[in-house]
Copies of this chain bind each other. A is one copy, B any other.
Amino acid sequence: MIQSRFRLIPQFVLKDEDGNDFSWKNLLGRYTVVYFYPKANTPGCTLEGLDFTKLIDEFNGNVVGISPDDCKAIASFKSKKGLKVKLLSDPDKAVAEQFGVVKDGKLIRSTFIVDPWGRIRKEWIKVNVNGHAEEVLQEYKRMIQEDQALNDNILLRRALRGVRPDPVEDEKIETLIKAAHLAPSCMNKQPWRFLVVRTKENLEKLHSTLSEGNYWMKHAPVMIIVYTDDELGCQLSDRRNYALFDTGTAVGLLLAQATQMGLIAHPVAGYDPIKVKELFEIKGVVITLIAVGYWGNIDMLNEKHLAAEFSERIRKPVEEIAKYI
Contact = CB atoms under 8 A, between A and B. Distances in A.
A246 B28 CA distance: 32
Interface residues of A, number: 112
A256 B151 contact: yes
Contacts of A5: 149-150, 152, 155
A249 interface: yes
A53 B188 CA distance: 52
Given A1-B310, A241-B241, A256-B151, A117 B262 contact: yes
Query: Interface on chain A toward B: helix, strand, loop, or mixed SS?
Result: mixed
Contacts of A150: 5, 175, 178-179, 257
B3 A177 contact: no
Interface stretch (A34-42, A82-90, A124-132, A286-294): A286-294
Interface of A: 1-6, 25-31, 115-117, 119, 147-159, 162, 164, 166, 170, 172-175, 177-179, 181-184, 186-188, 190, 192-199, 202, 234, 236-242, 244-253, 255-257, 259-263, 266-267, 269, 273-274, 277, 280, 285-288, 294-298, 310, 312-316, 318, 321-325
Given A6-B152, A151-B257, A248-B250, 14 more contacts: A5-B152, A26-B296, A29-B296, A30-B296, A147-B260, A147-B261, A150-B257, A151-B256, A154-B256, A192-B321, A195-B323, A236-B273, A238-B274, A253-B255
